[in-house]
């Protein structure tokens, strides 16, 4: 499966800072653990709603969590 967009994210890093597991993060924003895993491994680009929820949880701006790759 190819990536729909060339984008990277810092979710795994932010999660490490808060010291929470994928399961914890999933529960906090109401998604499945598969979703968090797919986002972290760049297999899935989340919806704007989900991105905003994560940004609120990590107290960051969305464009600090999700970054367009140079190749775009």
Partner 1 sequence: MESKLLLPNRYKRIGLILLIPSLALGILVRFFDFQFSFLTLQFVKTRINSKDMHLEDTINLTDEMALTGIIVALLFIAFAREKTEDEYIAQTRLESLKWAVLINYILLLVATWLVHGFAYIDVMMYNMLTVLIIFIIRFNYVLNNSKKSFD
26 φ, ψ (degrees, to nearest 5): -60, -45
- Residue 71 sits at the vertex; the CA angle it makes with 57 and 16, to the nearest 5 degrees, is 25
Task: Please tell me whether residue 57 binds partner 1 under the rule CB under 8 A.
Answer: no
Minimum CB distance to partner 1, residue 15 (Å) = 9
CA distance 58 to 72: 26
Minimum CB distance to partner 1, residue 72 (Å) = 21
Return the residue of 11, 46, 58, 65 that touches partner 1, per CB under 8 A. Answer: 46
For partner 1, the binding residues (CB under 8 A) are: 21-23, 26, 30-41, 43-44, 46-47, 50
């Amino acid at each position: 499966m190819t990536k729909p967009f060339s984008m990277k994210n810092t979710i795994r890093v932010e999660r490490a800072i808060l010291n929470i597991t994928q399961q914890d993060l999933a529960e906090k924003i109401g998604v499945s653990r598969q979703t968090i895993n797919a986002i972290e491994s760049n297999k899935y680009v989340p919806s704007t709603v989900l991105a905003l929820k994560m940004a609120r949880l990590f107290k960051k701006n969305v464009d600090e969590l999700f970054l367009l790759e140079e190749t775009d």
